[in-house]
Amino acid sequence: MTAAPAVVEADRTFTRDELDRMVDRFATALAAHGAGPSGRVGWIMANRAEVLAVALAARGLGAPAVAFGRRCTAEELAARIAVAAPAVIVVDGDERQRVQDVAGGVPVLDVTGPLPEEPGLVVARARPMRPIGPTGDTDRLGAGASLLFTSGTSGSPKAALRTRGDRRLAERIADGFGIGAGTRFLVSGPLTHSGPWTCALMSLARGGTVGLLRGFDAGTWLDFASEHDMNSGFLTPTQLRRLVRAARNRRDRLPSPTHVVVSGEPFPDALKREAVRLFGPGFVECYGSTELGPTTVLPAGEFADHPGSSGLPFDGVEVAAFREGRRLGAGEEGVLHVRTPLAFDGYVGGDGQLDPASPAPGDGWQTVGDVGFIDADGYVHVTGRADDLIISGGVNMVPADIEAVLSTHPDVRECVVFGVPDPVWGQRVAAAVVSEADLDTATVRDWLRGRISDDKRPYDVLRLTELPMTANGKVSRSALAAMLTAARDGER
């Protein structure tokens, strides 16, 4: 029986031996450029097997890996390189010149060219793992230390350094996600996103197969998953919603996933029901973040019994809601805090120095600014983000509450609610809707009358054919605000 491949792309396939040899070659090349515990390895590439090989080689050398986003402007990329201070940057051919122009003398290694085959090859898999954090690299499953730039759905990018590992918790997370030797994990979002990055490397560590797409397209995802029998993957709810829409119009065989992780945004109950109806119960919701790692898990079998929930915390992780330093009781909404052994070290500032993550409100609790509550059964409910909160006339409004009502409009396929500046109230409510009907502000406000309080009815409605996404597959509220401003300017 032929062994399952390690990595599958649209036009390339790599066996486990071929991937191991690639890791060895990269380890040699990276070590020659000073990669190690004090020499970070930067990379900026499209999704391809070389990204995974670089990650594994960096881990073997004890070198933190730094992911640079391909959508960065030259100025943004230069600023990120200055913050990360890598010893070497790995690129594919498409990025080489752009990176060299702003790298400030940092060596650039192009994976599309030949790699050295030197005597005394550094075998990354076999050399002793060097401790790079409080628990040491041997406590890891999949990836090693990393520096990932994160900004959620809006805001300025921040470089989150993670060196901590906990093997027992990592094993529980892999089990919760259904990752094992039979996993065929499809990655369609960029590997710069911590979700697909972590799950792909976990899949390889457990003997599974990773399928790589260069980007997300609903039709391509369905075709690739069916052709290559992909049974797992990572999707944001926005991406899943587009898969559901595409699947409704297909008459050929749909993939039947067993464990697709859905994370990154609120996962509406209506979308959960429709996804399960079309594809089966092969979905797992997870609440997590780049800074704190996977936090909760909710398999599809529990969707109906726990509506609105993101699941229970993994064993070894605690989640609680706080307000003004006070831990809240069941059902009380506040800022969610997490206590986990996988917490990041802190953000690396513009001077390249680490600003240690400050525990607030104390005793190891950390937050990324999400808002929610814990119910009486211990299930975590994420209702929004503190920085998405709309404060109008001193009243706090959670966009998800308004979206839950607006999404029930018969002509609304998708909707997002966001705040825009207002000279009188500070902010006012705006909405973007995807609809084939001619919905305008007056029509939407009239329909919402009596269904939601008057101050929560949108004062501006932007009708679109598709919602803008960030590189990580989330809806971009900042892009919507800019589009609304442009639309207003065009009407003047």
Per-residue pLDDT reduced to its tens digit, 399-427: 888 988 999 999 999 899 998 888 878 88
Provide the Cα torsion 15, 261, 297, 163; round to 10°. 60
Please name the residue that has the structure tokens 């401790």: 131
Structure tokens at 206: 């457990």
Confidence bin at 1 (pLDDT 50/70/90): low
Residue 108's beta-bridge partner residues?
Answer: 89
Q: Which residue has the higher pLDDT, 387 or 173?
A: 173
pLDDT at 129 over 50: no
Put residue 383 in one of left, alpha, beta given phi > 0 → left and psi -120 to 50 → alpha.
alpha
Q: Which residue has the higher pLDDT, 254 or 232?
A: 232
pLDDT score, position 489: 66
Distances 161 to 67, 147, 150, 192, 350 between C-alpha atoms, Å: 11, 4, 11, 14, 13
Task: Compute the distance between CA of residue 192 and CA of residue 54 in angstroms, rounded to an integer.
Answer: 13
Which of 122-136, 458-472, 476-490 shows the lowest mean pLDDT across its residues? Answer: 122-136
Q: In the 8-state DSSP scheme, what is residue 129?
A: P
Helix intervals (H) in 249-284: 269-279
138 within 8 A of 156, measured Cβ to Cβ: no
Task: Compute the distance between CA of residue 38 and CA of residue 86 in angstroms, rounded to an integer.
Answer: 9
CA angle 438, 443, 449 (to 5 degrees): 150
Peptide bond connecting 114 to the previous residue in cis, omega within 30 degrees of 0: no
Structure tokens at 396: 């706090």
pLDDT at 320 over 90: yes
Q: In the 8-state DSSP scheme, what is residue 388?
A: G
pLDDT, tens digit (0-9, with 9 covering 90-100), for 184-240 = 999 998 998 889 999 999 999 999 999 999 999 999 999 999 999 999 999 998 899
Pairing label, strands 283-289, 259-262: parallel
Task: Compute the distance between CA of residue 184 and CA of residue 207 in angstroms, rounded to an integer.
Answer: 10
CA dihedral over 9, 12, 15, 17, signed as positive or negative? negative
In the sheet where 380-385 sits, what is the strand order? 326-327, 318-323, 334-339, 370-374, 380-385
Helix intervals (H) in 33-166: 49-61, 74-84, 96-102
Q: Is 150 helix (H, G, I), strand (E, B) or coil?
A: strand
Distances 78 to 84, 96, 118, 154 between C-alpha atoms, Å: 10, 14, 32, 20
Q: What is the mean pLDDT of residues 433-448?
A: 92
Which phi and psi angles does 162 have, rounded to 5°?
Answer: -125, 120
pLDDT score, position 487: 78
Side-chain half-sphere exposure of 208, counting CA atoms within 13 A:
28
Task: Compute the distance between CA of residue 188 and CA of residue 404 in angstroms, rounded to an integer.
Answer: 27
In the sheet where 13-14 sits, what is the strand order? 13-14, 7-8, 209-212, 184-187, 232-235, 259-262, 283-289, 293-299, 312-313
Task: Compute the distance between CA of residue 282 and CA of residue 273 in angstroms, rounded to an integer.
Answer: 12
What domains can you pick out in the chain, each with its CATH number?
7-380 (3.40.50.12780), 389-491 (3.30.300.30)
Beta strands in 70-157 (DSSP E): 88-91, 108-110, 146-150
309 exposure class (CB count in 10 Å sphere: 0-12, 13-18, 19+):
buried
Structure tokens at 267: 């996962």
pLDDT, tens digit (0-9, with 9 covering 90-100), for 23-74 = 999 999 999 999 999 999 999 999 999 999 999 999 999 999 999 988 788 8
Mean pLDDT score of the chain: 86
Name the maximum alpha-carbon separation found in the chain: 76
30 within 8 A of 61, measured Cβ to Cβ: yes
How many CB atoms lie under 10 A from the CB of residue 164? 20
